[in-house]
Chain A
């Protein structure tokens, strides 16, 4: 798998606001998976993106795979306290190669 870089490393969000976290690679990614890890928990699968330009939605979460398959983004609308945690993207090529994650905190 390819090394992926995630930005920002930390995201402090006011409850109700939107935010986006990004996942970038210098080379073409095979496919991208996103995971969420709650504090003290283990990574939990959110979504897999395979096709160039693919967009998938899960309630308030929107995932996008770039046209060149070198980047991906996760956009969360109307942030809630339940969104707290670290969001990881990972390149899947028979194994997962994770980025360092974006850690999200929410101000009520």
Chain B
């Protein structure tokens, strides 16, 4: 499978715990995005990377959230001291940046439930 893969697919955690999600993008894509989606809403932008550089982070994102892409390949998203409001689907997407092709390929997502 050469698509975007995310792990785990589901995560249930207690409030106050830390969680980390992983995203493996399509190998030749140098741009990687993290989005969050709640029921009935469109994906909400969190942050994105161009290779290993984190170029933008949403102003809505609290400092409990951090993302890395250490070698410009896979990425991790960590949420510290989780809150019930963090419950959502966390989507990763990757895209090429050559020419006019900016199509984003999404992974299946990680569904986080904070209890």
B45 at the A interface (CB under 8 A): yes
Contact between chains at A50 and B40 (CB < 8 Å):
no
Q: Given that A42-B106, A95-B56, A96-B33 are known contacts, is A50 also in contact with B100, CB under 8 Å in the complex?
A: yes
A61 at the B interface (CB under 8 A): no
Contact between chains at B102 and A92 (CB < 8 Å):
yes
**Residues of chain B in range 31-68 having any CB-CB distance to chain A below 8 Å:** 33, 35, 40-45, 48, 55-56
Q: Given that A42-B91, A95-B33, A96-B33 are known contacts, is A33 also in contact with B103, CB under 8 Å in the complex?
A: yes
Query: What residues of B have a CB within 8 angstroms of the CB of A45 in the complex?
Result: 103-105
A98 at the B interface (CB under 8 A): yes
A97 at the B interface (CB under 8 A): yes
Complex-state Cα separation, A50 to B100, whole angstroms: 9
Closest to B3 in A: A42
B25 at the A interface (CB under 8 A): no
Closest to A89 in B: B42
> Which residue from A42, A99, A100 sits with its C-beta under 8 Å from B108?
A42
Closest to B4 in A: A42
A44 at the B interface (CB under 8 A): yes
Query: What residues of B have a CB within 8 angstroms of the CB of A48 in the complex?
Result: 100, 102-103
Query: What residues of B have a CB within 8 angstroms of the CB of A50 in the complex?
Result: 100
> Which residue from A31, A41, A44, A98 sits with its C-beta under 8 Å from B44?
A98
Query: What residues of A have a CB within 8 angstroms of the CB of B55 in the complex?
Result: 94
Contact between chains at B45 and A95 (CB < 8 Å):
yes
Q: Given that A42-B91, A95-B48, A95-B56 are known contacts, is A88 also in contact with B42, CB under 8 Å in the complex?
A: yes
Contact between chains at A43 and B91 (CB < 8 Å):
yes
Query: What residues of B have a CB within 8 angstroms of the CB of A31 in the complex?
Result: 102
Instruction: Report which A residues bind B (CB closer than 8 A).
Output: 1, 31, 33, 41-45, 48, 50, 88, 90, 92, 94-101
